[in-house]
Amino acid sequence: MFNDFVAPSLYPAAPEIFLLTMACVILLLDLGVKSPRRTLTFVLTQLTLLGCAAITLATSNVEVVYTFSNMFVDDMLADFLKLLVYLTVSVVLFYSREYIQARQDVPKGEYFVLALLATLGMMVMISANHFLTLYLGLEMMSLCLYAMVALRRSSAVCTEAAMKYFILGALASGLLLYGMSMIYGATGSLEITAVAERLYTHTVDDKVLVFGIVFLVAGLAFKLGVVPFHMWVPDVYHGAPTSVTLFIGAAPKLAAFAIVMRLLVNGLITQAEDWQSMLIILSVLSMAIGNLVAIAQTNIKRMLAYSAISHMGFMLLGIVTGVVGGDARFALNAYSSALFYVVTYVLTTTAAFGLIMLFSKAGFESDELEDFKGLNKRSPWFAAMMMFVMLSMAGIPFFVGFFAKFSVLQAVVAAGYYWLAVVAVVLSLIGAFYYLRVVKFMYFDEPKHVEPIEGPTSLKVVLSVNGVAVGLLGLFPQMLMSLCAYTLLRSL
């Protein structure tokens, strides 16, 4: 039996192995760091992400490569999303450093190590080609996020948010596992590509399979934070420290897109009609409830939470319109528009929460809408950056959010879902109100606080680059759009 064992190639998983090793090293070294700023821990964390990016680029291959008995896949989509995750996490940690430094009850070293381990979970999710590998990555990421939300142990609000997140997350994991087990029962395989092959070539028990897909979609919907599995999003966004809220709202969206593509598109494309109808309902409800409830919010973190729900609903439109009546002619256009949407959303939400953290200080969270009144008089430059972000999220021309929405709507119309496009446009117009309200506060109201915006020059530079990128990508979106399309062309 042992003579038949073939050692798996570790080459495709080199970035994951490097990250795990460095996370353990940083965890041990941090025990000896006496500086409250944790400079060594921060620098090593950033160097680790840089090293992962270098290894990912060095091991990148145009061809699709499988390893660990086809449980792990390395393709262009995996490499592209991993590079984006490294960049996002690096920027998030950069924004977070001063914020957590000003709060004595946030453990600094643990924050950076948990962020690295959560990143490892995302990387495993992105490269998963097997239900168990996917679940392993998902739980690794989720457990780290639960701990990060509860880092401020002295805060009852943070602890409550972590408990809600943990309990609802455990429920979602159960739904996902149950769905996977039913699909295994129907197809006889846990490997995603093998499931696709068996659905294409064999007759399976449709009832068991459809039930499995229902549970699978329910679990995915929770991870995406779409209605009706959105209950945790506003409470966690509001209750968690802003640095953790930024982490949860940014990089995990890229990993969630990856598992949607792996499970639904790579594994269950022959059953597209079954899961498309469910995604249409989730999408419309998310856009409607997300945009309508956001109008009533006075806390900007809760407002951005409901905004995230509506944006994920909009992204699902691209997934829905890939296959129409068994015809996959529009697949590449639709899925690349969804990928472009996720990437641009992560870019804008990173800038939004980064600016909120810049305006905050020790003992004061700048998370109420009224805190942004008269911001233009305190800092015209960062008021302009916040305006760029809000206008982009609202889909106002010519910011990158407009082209993201436009590309998804174009895919929806091309697929013949005209009513869905009309609904999406109307709900986007409703949603523009609460974004423009922030702009109105910044430019037309008298400031509540008159002190100037303070912060490290390096942080202000990175925030400025982030904000300007939102504007420049709106003027020149074609390169990123083409990159998304090429990535999926080489991976699907």
**Does the pLDDT of residue 308 top 60, yes or no?**
yes
User: Who wins on pLDDT, 327 or 341?
Assistant: 341
Q: How far apart are the first and last CA of the chain?
A: 35
Phi-psi region of 72 (alpha: psi -120 to 50; beta: other; left: phi over 0): beta
Within 59-155, where are the H helices? 76-101, 108-126, 131-149
Q: Who's near 427: CB < 8 A, 6+ residues apart?
A: 287, 288, 291, 310
Show the tokens assigned to 56.
Answer: 């990912």
Q: What is the mean pLDDT of residues 425-444?
A: 93
Query: For the ranges 17-31, 193-207, 415-429, which has the lowest average pLDDT?
Result: 193-207
CA–CA distance, 68 with 7 (Å, rounded to integer): 8
Domain limits, the chain: 9-489
Count helices and strands in the chain by DSSP H and E runs = 20, 2
Position 1 scores a pLDDT of 47
34-38, 83-87, 319-323: which is most confident: 83-87
**Does the pLDDT of residue 454 top 50, yes or no?**
yes
Show the tokens assigned to 422.
Answer: 């009309």
**What is residue 72's three-state secondary structure?**
strand
Q: What is the dihedral angle through the alpha carbons of 412, 413, 414, 417, rounded to the nearest 10 degrees?
A: 70
Q: What is the mean pLDDT of residues 104-121?
A: 89
pTM: 0.94
Give CA separation, 290 vs 72, 257, 308, 342, in Å. Answer: 35, 19, 8, 17
Residue for token pair 């970035």: 15
Binned at pLDDT 50, 70 and 90, residue 331 comes out as: confident
Q: What is the mean pLDDT of residues 153-162?
A: 88
Q: What is the mean pLDDT of residues 286-300?
A: 93
Q: Are 389 and 470 in contact (CB under 8 A)?
A: yes
User: Who wins on pLDDT, 448 or 127?
Assistant: 127
Give CA separation, 465 vs 8, 347, 391, 399, in Å. Answer: 42, 11, 17, 15
Q: How many residues does the chain have?
A: 492
pLDDT tens digits for range 210-269: 999 999 999 999 988 998 888 899 999 998 988 999 999 999 999 999 999 999 998 888
Position 3 scores a pLDDT of 57
pLDDT tens digits for range 167-189: 999 999 999 999 999 999 999 88
pLDDT tens digits for range 370-420: 888 888 888 889 899 999 999 999 999 889 999 999 999 999 998 888 999
Binned at pLDDT 50, 70 and 90, residue 324 comes out as: confident
Binned at pLDDT 50, 70 and 90, residue 326 comes out as: low
Looking at residue 266, what DSSP letter applies?
A: I
CA–CA distance, 334 with 332 (Å, rounded to integer): 6
pLDDT tens digits for range 9-21: 888 899 999 999 9
Residue type, 202: H
CA–CA distance, 79 with 87 (Å, rounded to integer): 12
CA–CA distance, 52 with 293 (Å, rounded to integer): 40
Position 363 scores a pLDDT of 55
**Does the pLDDT of residue 40 top 50, yes or no?**
yes
CA–CA distance, 472 with 425 (Å, rounded to integer): 24
Q: Are 369 and 441 in contact (CB under 8 A)?
A: yes
Among residues 314, 8, 259, 261, the alpha carbon closest in space to that of 141 is found at 259
Position 415 scores a pLDDT of 87
Q: Are 236 and 246 in contact (CB under 8 A)?
A: no
State residue 368 phi and psi, 5-degree precision.
-95, 145
CA–CA distance, 474 with 284 (Å, rounded to integer): 26
- Determine what percent of the chain is predicted with pLDDT higher than 70: 98
Binned at pLDDT 50, 70 and 90, residue 90 comes out as: very high
Q: Are 436 and 394 in contact (CB under 8 A)?
A: yes
Q: Are 462 and 95 in contact (CB under 8 A)?
A: yes
